[in-house]
Structure 1
Amino acid sequence: MTIQKSILFLSFCLLPWYGFSQGTSENTTDTLSSSPVYKKVNMAFYPAISYTPETSLQLGAIGFFVFNKPPTDSGSRFNRPSSFSPVVIYSLKNQFEIYTDWDIWNRKGWNYTIKAGFRNFPNVFYGLGNRTFSKDKEEYTEERLKIEADLVKPLTEQLFVGLNLNLEHNHLYGFAQDGQIESTSLIGKEGGLIWGIGPVLRLDTRDDVLYPTKGSRLDVKILYYPKELGSSYRFATYVVDFRKYLTIQNEKNVLAFQGVLNASSGNDIPFYKLWWIGGGYRLRGIENVNRYLDKQAMYVQAEYRRKLFWRLGGVVFTGAGEVSDRLNGFRLSEWKYVYGMGLRFQPIKGQNMNIRFDYGMGKGDQSGFYVLVREAF
């Protein structure tokens, strides 16, 4: 990617930051204040020191912005806070990434969930399916520009419909000579542009969008990638994602559950758009997010969350899942199991958005340590 394109994209990522900041200059935004006085914006800035199995140690900076609705909106059905987190990181594996994560609510209930990022990322490929091995991993470099968004409007206070958009451009290089990527007809090694659009249905009864303690959320999404829109590949993806939250005695103790089915159709799916079950938001404890890839994926996970003292909390979690080349190919004997525990830190006092530190272990002596923003689900 050229320097000009990088600067343009950086400006795009920071535009909401600039716009929100300019609109709140008359408000006090003391990051650590515990005063009950209404603040339009709460914000915090931290050095970003994080770690995942895919990146090793990462260094950078992160911002947290929470935009609260005024007390005069307390009677509104959609009095929900908006949030925005810009991140810039560089890893000891020479991986550079800049991204923003927005969750925006307006007074009429329209919700815009947007993730945008650019990465230059040395990566690994293990092969396809459930039976891959660490010794077979092959390194390559991925340069990716990506924007993904859900744009939904309310039909009722809890039911939303809208569009899901996915636009990304990938450039892959640095394949091992005579390796499995170069020597096979693996779809997607040429990179290219993909552009997908499709409907999304959401049923959301959670009591809090940042840290739910009760209620549930169901998302059903379909994305079509037609070549008529300029996509280099033609395929479709399908997502069913259900989450449930239960309070035990009081809101300091929460049980959270998630079940996900990811499916794909078509014979022209680039390997980097196949489904996965590992990573910091799925089965924590699988050694790499790319360890298991295929056209279909299924996983479940559960987590017990406990608020401890000050701004600290703790969790224990477990989960299981697998990938398959077809929907009727899932086998209980092939499921991968993980378990682990984690620590939570609340960067903005009084706002339930956490930095999380999780350590998970999985089948076959796999493990992973994760430092990320927001809950896993």
Structure 2
Amino acid sequence: MALHIEKIATSKISEVDFSNLKFGQVFTDHMFECDFENGAWQTPKIRPYQALSIDPSAKVFHYGQAVFEGMKAYKDDNDEIWLFRPEQNQERINKSAERLDMPAFPKEYFMEGLNTLLKMDSEWVKKGENNALYIRPFVIATENCVSASSSTNYKFMIICSPVQGYYAGEVKVVFADKYSRAANGGVGFAKAAGNYAASFYPAKLAANDGYQQIVWTDASTHEYLEEAGTMNVFFRINDTLYTAPTSDRILDGVTRKSIIELAKSEDINVEVRKISVKEIVEAAKKGELLEMFGTGTAVVISPISAFSNKGENFDLPKLENSYAALLKKKMTDIQRNLSEDKFGWRVKVQ
């Protein structure tokens, strides 16, 4: 693959306080960029991180053709950098793009561009239990035209941000009973930018009441639990883990599917099926709901300490040996090259 590289003159890394990072606000020295013009992807390039110049009529601003991914890179004690199942993100961004009538991005460009970018900005990947480099690939429509139709031009980019933890402290959630995240036949399964925009207002209302996340329910009846705003959700009733099946409403989370496989390998009973609000409320009242936790790239696993349903609040027990703690340790040890990876998930940056 031909790849045009322009290196930064002076790194800005010395200006960054890596012990006091706010998630997603600091970016590395370089970015990967490739334009789709005249029906084909052009020569990709890596250049210094900088602002873009985009025409006000670019279709991304008017019709929302934008999809993205979330990934992480980790540095081990030997200064080697590792990715976690990157092929899953590469496949999913193209699946999302297809739903929004955007062109697929070549796997070769994605993988080689990502590896080269990470090698160039390797000093930004810090060692340590809570440190990682968050990676954001995305595609936007760039045709200068306000007609209501698919764009002819697109821009694919990868930017990177050093991060620590996503949530600090306990996470409390509220079950949705009015607003919906996605509907049948829609774009809920895609990482489309508009999915998140539509969730911000309900999430703000929940935050005003002291909740960090909404657990969305089905749009038709609000009777079945689906996923949270930035996470897939797992429920532990007695000694069985439950999570909702993926559908055209629910994101096929890379962390979610990995946790399912990891739990089964630890002889934890896992059931993937529809989960009703009523079932979870009744289990909580009986003392059988032992855990709830969210999974996602940013959080890995985030334990949920309490939930609310139609004004009724439920606190979850504090367990010494929780599934969430066990699975998070197993997962992060694989991601950070601290344990054997019998699944073949870990990919070394070459």
TM-score (norm 2): 0.27
Return the structure number with greater strand share.
1
Kindly indicate whether structure 1 or structure 2 has the higher relative contact order, using CA contacts under 8 Å at least 6 residues apart: 2
Return the structure number with greater helix share.
2
